[in-house]
Structure 1
């Protein structure tokens, strides 16, 4: 397999996953109070959406790269 075809397949998978998931969530701990031995903190969750246009671009680009890799044989 050529590298162009492999990159195209990866982009297709990324595009499909972007449509299916729609974003990802991560959490981190945030300190509220720090008074010597006394510490108060809480866990904060953030969500990062994946815009559908990026998923579309990845999918179309992946299809184009796979087609170019197959055609160059």
Structure 2
């Protein structure tokens, strides 16, 4: 459980530092045999600030709860 807690802490801190991720998706617009037209679209996935805080706190709780049970 300690490993899971540490992973959650790291992920939570990364979520606080990086507010979201962006990526480029290539979409096929027209496909007429050998002729193909594609369109590149930039998309962004954002998560709220409290999600990073909740994940970090959950990681801390799991880490310390795992130590107390032994």
- State if a TM-score over 0.5 links the two structures: yes
Output the aligned Cα RMSD: 1.2
Deviations 1:39-65 (A, max 9, x none): 111211210002112111101111111
Number of matched pairs:
70
Task: Provide TM-score, normalisation by structure 1.
Answer: 0.84
C-alpha separation between the residues in 2 aligned to 1:48 and 1:7? Answer: 24
Partner Cα distance (2:33, 2:59) in 1: 54
What is the distance in 2 between the residues matched to 1:7 and 1:34? 47
Query: CA separation in 1, counterparts of 2:16 and 2:66?
Result: 24
- Matched residues in 1 for 2:5 and 2:64: separation? 9
- Displacement after TM superposition at 1:14 (Å): 0.7
Q: Unmatched 5+ residue regions in structure 1?
A: none
Corresponding position: 1:9 with 2:6: yes
2:46 to 33, 49, 57: 49
